[in-house]
Every structure is written in C-alpha cells, then in structure tokens.
C-alpha cells in the first residue's frame, strides 16, 4: 500500500524518508509543475540526521496529476493550507481512504473531515521536531513521539505497527482531542507571549502572573470542553515546559522572526472562538489575541 505524502516540508519529508528507508512505497505530492521541477533538480529529499546527510530519491508527482487512486494519505502541510490541499486530491481518494492529519492546533482537522466525509480522518499530535535548511532538505532536530487517534472513535488501524517499525515512534490515542487541546493550551499560554515580549521561553518565568492568568482562563475553557484532567494540570505543565525549554524560541516566535505566516487562527484564535461558542468571557485570552494580531499587522503578516 503506497503512502501518499502531501506537503514535502519539514514533517512530510521526515515521515517520507523514514518510511522509504524501511521499504514502504512512498509517493510525494507536490504543489505544481514548478515545485516538481525544483524537486527533480535536487534529485530527491535530503535528510540531515545526527550530523549526517542522506539523499532519498523518492517518486514525486503534482497534486493535480490524475494518478492512481489513493487509499492512504499523510497530509503534512500547515493548518491554514490543509483544507485546500485536501480538496486538491479529493477526487483521487478511494471510499474509506485513511488520511493522517499532522496539523498543529485545532479547527483545520475538522474542516478537512467535513470536506471529505467518505474518508477516515485520523488526527495526529507530535512532539518531533524538524526544520528545513534548504529546498527539499530537512534537519531532524528533535526526537519525540506522535499520537494518532480518531475523533469519531473506531479501532486503531493495523498499519500502526509498520510506522513504529519504520522508526516513527507512535501510539494510538483513545482521546486525541484531549491531547490536541492540552497542546493547544500549552501553546496559547507560552507562544504568543514570547512573540509579544520578543523572548525565549524561559524569560516568561519573569511574567509569572500574566502566565497564571492565561492558564486560569485556558483551564476554564478545557473544563467547559470536558477535559477536566487537562484543565487541572495545565498550569503546572506550562511551568514545567517553560523551565524545560528555557533556552528555546517558540515556533511562533521563529515564524514571526522569519516573516512567515503563523498558525494563530488554529491556536489562540481557535481558543477564543471556542470560548465565545461556549459563552465564556475569557478577557485575558481575547486581549492577548488582539495584541498579537496587532503585532502581526504591524509586521505585514496575516492576522489569521
Ligand atoms: P512546512 O515545513 O512549512 O511544510 C509544509 C509543506 O506543505 C510545504 O512543503 C508546502 O509546499 C506544502 N504545501 C502546502 N500547501 C500545499 C498544497 N496545496 N499542495 C502541495 N503542497 C502543499 O511545515 P511543517 O513544519 O512540516 O509543519 C506541518 C504541520 O506540522 C504544521 O501544522 C506544524 O505546526 C506541525 N508540526 C510541525 C513540527 C515541526 O517540527 N516542523 C512539529 C510538530 C508539528 P511548498 O514547499 O511548495 O511551500
């Protein structure tokens, strides 16, 4: 069974190269002819791992190509591209096709699932880290773990073990939404402040009261959504992450520093929208969202 990989960026390449070297058939789906030509000039994907570069000449085609039907797809683009990217391959998906959605935050997964009602959409949450240091070059920067689950329940697919065998450490989650909400809560309490204060994660220890105020409102939100354990544990988890990643710049900080679009609409934006839907006040989160949008506007970056 071929793994189709839509989104040959950091995580897409990290998955594609590991699957390919484990002998799994892999096919990349690239944006257009121009990207396909650029890929061919490079001769494949280069994975940099533990200081060593390896070239993987994987098969690639454009998303618009009328190729073979797709049973298994990894959607590895950013949250704001997910719905359009999924729509571009919809006609090739077999009924019951399985799609792993790698997007951070929440909201894009549900949009894709609504767009593709005949497919089985599985959501992933990953602590692995990778970045691109060139076109079709990816650096495996942080070992981590991935959880996959189905919002609509249903059994774990039999092929999960193949992913572990390919060196992608992964487990099935019976409550993937809770896992994604926990991660979203952490992100909302840390990342926007690192952008506004232009600081590393650790410097937020000097803004403890502000962080605690955000945790309080995020806790209310998690509680209202029924994630009571996550709500109770949020503040201590946030403090643990701030201490453990003190020297790091958050992903949102790095996106803004590099003039890249952020995934704010699927993180803080989603939290505020969900708060409104549930009738919660959440004044600190809403004010933070407004401040962050103002900063993005000033920098000429999209506010959503
Ligand atoms: P990325 O490096 O920006 O890669 C995204 C890729 O998607 C790009 O190669 C882009 O193509 C491609 N793409 C977008 N729209 C497309 C379309 N319509 N057709 C074909 N290709 C399309 O992003 P990433 O860092 O891998 O992140 C992917 C998701 O994983 C994000 O939600 C991110 O938050 C999450 N995540 C990332 C990490 C990490 O360490 N990187 C860790 C955890 C979670 P072009 O190259 O042509 O622009």
Summarised one tens digit per residue, pLDDT across range 42-52 is 999 999 999 99
pLDDT at 84: 97
At 53, the pLDDT band (50, 70, 90 cuts) reads very high
Contact 137, 46 (CB under 8 A): yes
Number of other CB atoms surrounding residue 77 within 10 Å: 22
Ligand 1 probe mutation, 5, 6, 10, 187, most atoms within 8 A of CB: 10
183 is a catalytic site residue = yes
* Opening angle at CA 70, ends 160 and 60, nearest 5: 95
Average pLDDT value over all residues in the chain: 97
**Average pLDDT rounded to a whole number, residues 243-247:** 97
* Domains of the chain: residue spans and CATH: 3-174 (3.40.50.720), 178-298 (1.10.1040.10)
The residues facing 45 across adjacent strands are 56
pTM for the full predicted model: 0.97
d(CA 111, CA 113): 6
**CA dihedral sign of residues 15, 237, 281, 178:** positive
Of the chain, the percentage scoring pLDDT greater than 70 comes to 100
User: Pairing state of beta strands 120-126 and 45-49?
Assistant: unpaired
CA of 50 to the centre of ligand 1 (A): 22
pLDDT at 103: 98
CA of 7 to the centre of ligand 1 (A): 6
- Supply the residue whose CA is at minimum distance from atom 20 of ligand 1: 31
Ligand 1 atom with least separation from CA of 103: 32
Residue 155 has φ and ψ, to the nearest 5°, of -75, 160
Summarised one tens digit per residue, pLDDT across range 285-296 is 999 999 999 999
Residue 236 has φ and ψ, to the nearest 5°, of -65, -35
pLDDT at 146: 98
Catalytically annotated residue among 72, 78, 182, 183: 183
At 236, the pLDDT band (50, 70, 90 cuts) reads very high
- Supply the residue whose CA is at minimum distance from atom 37 of ligand 1: 11
Task: Kindly list the protein residues whose Cβ atom lies closer than 6 A to any atom of ligand 1.
Answer: 6-12, 30-31, 35, 63, 76-79, 81, 84-85, 88, 102-104, 126, 128-130, 132, 263
Ligand 1 atom with least separation from CA of 84: 18
């Amino acid at each position: 069974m071929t793994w189709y990989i839509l989104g040959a960026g950091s995580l897409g390449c990290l998955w594609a190269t590991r699957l390919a070297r484990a002998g799994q058939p892999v096919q990349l789906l690239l944006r257009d002819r121009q990207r396909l030509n650029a890929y061919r000039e490079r001769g494949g994907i280069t994975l940099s791992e533990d200081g060593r570069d390896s070239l993987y000449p994987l098969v690639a085609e454009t998303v618009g190509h009328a190729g073979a039907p797709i049973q298994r797809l990894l959607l590895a683009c950013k949250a704001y591209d997910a719905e359009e990217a999924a729509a571009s391959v919809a006609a090739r998906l077999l009924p019951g096709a399985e799609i792993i959605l790698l997007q951070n935050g929440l909201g894009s997964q549900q949009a894709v699932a609504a767009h593709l009602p005949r497919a089985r959409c599985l959501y992933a949450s990953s602590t692995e880290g990778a970045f691109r240091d060139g076109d079709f070059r990816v650096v495996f920067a942080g070992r981590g773990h991935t959880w996959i689950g189905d919002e609509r329940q249903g059994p774990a697919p039999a092929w999960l073990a193949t992913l572990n065998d390919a060196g992608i450490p992964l487990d099935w989650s019976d409550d993937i939404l809770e896992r994604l909400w926990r991660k979203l809560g952490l992100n909302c309490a840390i990342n926007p402040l690192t952008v506004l204060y232009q600081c590393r994660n650790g410097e937020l220890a000097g803004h403890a009261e502000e962080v605690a105020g955000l945790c309080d409102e995020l806790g209310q939100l998690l509680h209202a959504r029924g994630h009571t354990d996550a709500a109770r544990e949020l503040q201590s988890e946030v403090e643990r992450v701030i201490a453990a990643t003190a020297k790091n710049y958050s992903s949102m900080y790095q996106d803004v520093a590099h003039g890249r679009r952020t995934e704010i609409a699927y993180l803080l934006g989603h939290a505020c929208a969900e708060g409104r839907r549930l009738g919660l006040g959440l004044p600190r989160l809403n004010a933070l969202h407004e401040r962050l949008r103002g900063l993005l506007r000033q920098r000429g970056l999209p506010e959503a």
